[in-house]
A and B are shown apart, each in its own frame.
Chain A
């Protein structure tokens, strides 16, 4: 296969898998948020985000990669391209048994990811791959609310009790050491940039940091770090568990109509 094409597919998998994992984690939260009203609103964001994943998988389907449900449910962890901070479980416990989930993680991840997604989508609106540019333009207006929601939570919790401030601070520290691969576009990065599919991730990182600095009081001063690089198919066991869950019913009969 032509390297340009492979690079493009890889980028689309990164976008699709990021949104799939974020929405999977969101779907585990459904019904469990700290406040009923916040739960309902959060679920709209999760549904929108899964809808975005579907858009990206559909672009892949159009390029001959296979059915969207096959792409979402059948690919092993090794083939997944999401950044690893996004696959991180919601806290301790299982969503259906003992969900000791951490709202501070939801807020920090929500705010960090939606800020990231926004700068990335803006860059993609100028992508040389026209269908991707169109897709980014469709998603952007809807995604504004996602960012506004998490930003509000971030702002308010930071101004609140010492316990909340500490929880948020701890989760920011954690995010800092696990999210570098968000700004890595994988093995084909140079081709992606040469072909004008997307902007240099270093530039996106600067934009991302600028937005974070406007809201977060004391961001860590050290550079971002990573545990593993999800863009290269390196993942944690959290992803294995997530994939087993999200494909549990599907795998009982992948060819059946559900």
Chain B
């Protein structure tokens, strides 16, 4: 007898906490999405935190082809201007002026706003 239809492919994604990205874990075989869901976590995330799990039929995923990956993902490594890498020299300049650098750590710390009285 044929069991072929039992073996549907699902891709499993999970999220660790509300801030983390969705991460592709692996794929599994299951007869349907309900069963895929009940199997996913203990197959791939039994040693880690999980906040959310997605199962997606593999056939529903349009991934890049080999050609696309080679054609569309190649960038020249000259985009430092888009990153902080280009501005490291500022640290010294600010230092000379007895000022701190507005780096990631500093700016992120701004989310804590001092409370005012009254």
A and B: interacting chains: yes
Interface residues of A (CB under 8 A from B): 35-38, 40-41, 43-45, 145, 148-149, 152, 156
13 A-B interface contacts by CB (under 8 A): A37-B29, A38-B39, A40-B39, A40-B43, A41-B39, A41-B41, A41-B42, A41-B43, A43-B42, A45-B42, A152-B38, A156-B34, A156-B35
* Chain A residue at minimal CB-CB distance from B28: A37
Closest Cβ of chain B to A155, distance in Å, is 8
Q: Report how many A-B pairs have Cβ atoms within 8 Å.
A: 34
Q: How large is the interface on B (under 10, 10 to 19, 20 to 34, 35 or more residues)?
A: 10 to 19
Instruction: Note all chain A residues with C-beta closer than 8 A to B38.
Output: 41, 148-149, 152
Closest Cβ of chain B to A51, distance in Å, is 13
Interface residues of B in 41-60 (CB under 8 A from A): 41-43, 46
Is the CB–CB distance between B29 and A44 below 8 Å? no
B30, B32, B46: which contacts A44 (Cβ < 8 A)? B46
Instruction: Note all chain A residues with C-beta closer than 8 A to B34.
Output: 152, 156
Interface residues of B in 16-38 (CB under 8 A from A): 28-32, 34-35, 38
Closest Cβ of chain B to A215, distance in Å, is 13
Closest Cβ of chain A to B58, distance in Å, is 14
Instruction: Note all chain A residues with C-beta closer than 8 A to B29.
Output: 35-37
**11 new A-B contacts at CB < 8 Å, known A35-B6, A35-B29, A41-B41:** A37-B30, A38-B35, A40-B43, A41-B42, A41-B43, A44-B42, A145-B41, A148-B38, A149-B38, A152-B34, A156-B35
Given contacts A35-B29, A37-B28, A37-B29, contact A152 B35 (CB under 8 A): yes
